[in-house]
Amino acid sequence: MDYIFTLKYQLSANDDDLDGIVERLGAGGCDDALIGVGQAGRIAMEFTREAASAGEALISALSDVKRLLPEAKLIEAAPDFVGLSDVAEVMGMTRQNIRKLMVKHSASFPPPVHEGSAAVWHLADVLAWLKAKGAYQIAPGVAEVAATAKQVNLARSAPQLEPALQRQMRALLA
């Protein structure tokens, strides 16, 4: 099955030859990615990778990029962090319909990971909630990719916590 996902990286100061980077990625196994270099010091790759699972697809892409750009730092695996408009686009619905569902089912709708003028959710959480409702069609592979991207982002962030705080947080959030 083909899995579609995006990996966003911060490039090192040594990675300043963007044309060379794009060529290296294409020749080194990332020829299944559409590469964007529009933001200075950043690179985004939208992969359409064939694999037995979303986990296998993301891990192989992460491995390829690490091998080819060893100093680059992963910023985000997507699709993961989304607003209601993003959820609506994935589901083929309007933002207003998703918002109505959120308001009507406020007790069970997944809590956002950030709440403010623009709330942000993990796409996997919202898709799991919609699937549990039973009346919504989710395209094959989308929920699996979203769940895997969420795990990649959580794993990327976890080492930033100091060990003592990490133990306390696990105890408090369990």
For 16-67, the pLDDT digits (tens) are 889 999 999 999 999 999 999 888 899 999 999 999 999 999 999 999 999 9
Please give the pLDDT value at position 173. Answer: 73
**Which residue, chain included where needed, has tokens 């919202």?**
126
Question: Which positions of the chain have pLDDT values less than 50?
Answer: none
Closest of 17, 16, 21 to residue 69, by C-alpha: 21
Please give the pLDDT value at position 141. Answer: 95
Please give the pLDDT value at position 174. Answer: 64
Dihedral of CA 60/155/90/134: which sign? positive
Peptide bond into 159 cis (omega under 30): no
Contact 47, 4 (CB under 8 A): yes
